[in-house]
């Protein structure tokens, strides 16, 4: 029986439920650490709760640790526990900059630890099917893409409290590190490594010390170019959460947030709408529309991620998303932040 500890109650509860529901014969949650551990739910019945992760690590005899709390704490938690715990599931983006992730990577290597990074979208059956379709050459050689993640988060999310890490850039707050890093990982997964990044900062209406909306332009090492629009104060149906129908907390929107353009046609996602052309494909050519890959079932990627993590602990798999992926993703985030900091208004 694998003993797993979890730090962080918000996202951590999803992992707890998946372990209890799907892996009760092979794994158990031995401890759950969060700020106010006196507020227990029915799901936590039978699970030891802690207000301090050090006590949980000292008492738990843990095989693995899930880090799902504020990521500015990840370095100290790993530093404290890596000599005893050899498997970690670390929620993205791992830390608030690439330098910090590099330090965490060194600690993991020093103690011969294995880390799976929680970019759960890579486990989405729809994302994996879309990658397969693009690789099949159905739209030819990919030339460019256009991706959008625009949503309006609720006001409570941004309560102006010093303890709320989401409103502090130096603690990893802001949509770039929280949400945009998902989009960046998806771009890398689908299309390849990002070489060049340019970015512009949009207006801020909340008057907080974090960005609200950003446009980034990428040039990949393979020559593909693309754009990414990120905003968490923009009411919109064009985002992963509302279009994928994987998290039923969000109402479903029947639109696409990603368009990919090749030299033999285009395709949009997640509707899998294919636009092949007739004739030579010039501006006088007609385009048709059809759906491909529509039979793909949208299973919860967080459940699939935990399935994978259990296999990693058991030695049956290697991490689909590793610490180097986290490092490359955050290097792009750091570059975007540098770009918008140094943005010029001159024509």
| 2-121+302-321: CATH class | alpha beta
Pick from 121, 232, 242: nearest CA to 176: 232
pLDDT band at residue 345 under the 50/70/90 scheme: very low
Q: What is the pTM of this model?
A: 0.92
What sections of 192-322 are H helices per DSSP?
240-244, 301-313
Q: How many CB atoms lie within 10 A of CB 25?
A: 7
Pick from 72, 103, 69, 108: nearest CA to 88: 108
With a cut of 70, say whether residue 38 has pLDDT above it.
Answer: no
| 47 and 21 Cβ atoms separated by less than 8 Å | no
| 33 and 6 Cβ atoms separated by less than 8 Å | yes
Domain boundaries, the chain: 2-121+302-321, 122-299+331-341
pLDDT band at residue 236 under the 50/70/90 scheme: very high
Provide the pLDDT for residue 30: 95
Give the pairing of strands 2-7 and 27-33.
Answer: parallel
Q: pLDDT digit string (tens) for 153-201? A: 988 887 766 667 777 777 778 899 999 999 999 999 999 999 999 999 9
3-state secondary structure of 112: coil
**Helix 12-22, helix 301-313: angle, nearest 10:** 70
What sections of 136-248 are H helices per DSSP?
175, 181-191, 240-244
Identical fold at 2-121+302-321 and 122-299+331-341?
Answer: no
| 296 and 125 Cβ atoms separated by less than 8 Å | yes
Distance from C-alpha of 104 to C-alpha of 169, rounded to nearest angstrom: 19
CB under 8 Å to 113, separation ≥6 — which residues? 78, 82, 85, 86, 87, 88, 107
Provide the pLDDT for residue 186: 98
Distance from C-alpha of 15 to C-alpha of 6, rounded to nearest angstrom: 8
DSSP state of 206: S
Q: pLDDT digit string (tens) for 126-153? A: 999 999 999 999 999 999 999 999 999 9
Q: Which CATH number fits domain 122-299+331-341: 3.30.360.10, 3.40.50.300, 3.40.50.10710, 3.30.1280.10?
A: 3.30.360.10
- Residues paired with 233 in a beta bridge: 152
Strands (E), 239-336: 258-262, 265-269, 273-276, 290-291
With a cut of 70, say whether residue 37 has pLDDT above it.
Answer: no
């Amino acid at each position: 029986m694998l003993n797993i500890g979890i730090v962080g109650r918000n996202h951590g509860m999803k992992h707890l439920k998946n372990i209890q529901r799907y892996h009760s014969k092979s794994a158990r949650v031995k401890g759950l650490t969060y700020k106010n551990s006196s507020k227990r739910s029915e799901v936590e019945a039978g699970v030891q709760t802690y207000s301090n992760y050090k006590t949980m690590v000292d008492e738990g005899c843990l095989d693995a640790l899930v880090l799902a709390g504020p990521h500015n704490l990840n370095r100290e938690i790993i530093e404290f526990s890596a000599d005893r715990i050899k498997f970690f599931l670390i929620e993205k983006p791992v830390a608030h900059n690439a330098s910090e992730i590099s330090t965490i990577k060194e600690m993991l290597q020093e103690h011969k630890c294995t880390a799976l990074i929680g970019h759960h979208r890579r486990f989405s059956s729809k994302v994996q099917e879309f990658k397969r379709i693009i690789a099949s050459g159905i739209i030819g050689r990919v030339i460019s893409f256009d991706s959008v993640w625009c949503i309006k988060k609720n006001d409570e999310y941004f309560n102006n409290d010093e303890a709320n890490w989401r409103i502090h850039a130096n603690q990893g707050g802001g949509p770039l590190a929280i949400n945009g890093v998902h989009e960046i990982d998806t771009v890398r997964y689908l299309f390849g490594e990002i070489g060049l990044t340019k970015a512009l900062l949009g207006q801020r209406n909340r008057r907080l010390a974090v960005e609200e909306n950003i446009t980034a332009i990428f040039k990949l090492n393979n020559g593909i170019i693309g754009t990414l629009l990120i905003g968490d104060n923009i009411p919109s149906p064009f985002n992963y959460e509302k279009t994928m129908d994987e998290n039923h907390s969000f109402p479903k929107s029947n639109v696409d947030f990603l368009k990919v353009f090749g030299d033999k046609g285009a395709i949009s996602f997640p509707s899998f709408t294919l636009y092949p052309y007739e004739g030579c494909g010039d501006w006088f050519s007609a385009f048709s529309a059809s759906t491909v890959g529509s039979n793909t079932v949208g299973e919860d990627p967080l459940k699939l991620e935990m399935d994978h993590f259990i296999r990693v602990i058991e030695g049956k798999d290697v991490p689909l998303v590793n610490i180097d992926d986290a490092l490359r993703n955050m290097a792009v985030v750091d570059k975007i932040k540098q770009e918008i900091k140094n943005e010029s208004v001159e024509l």
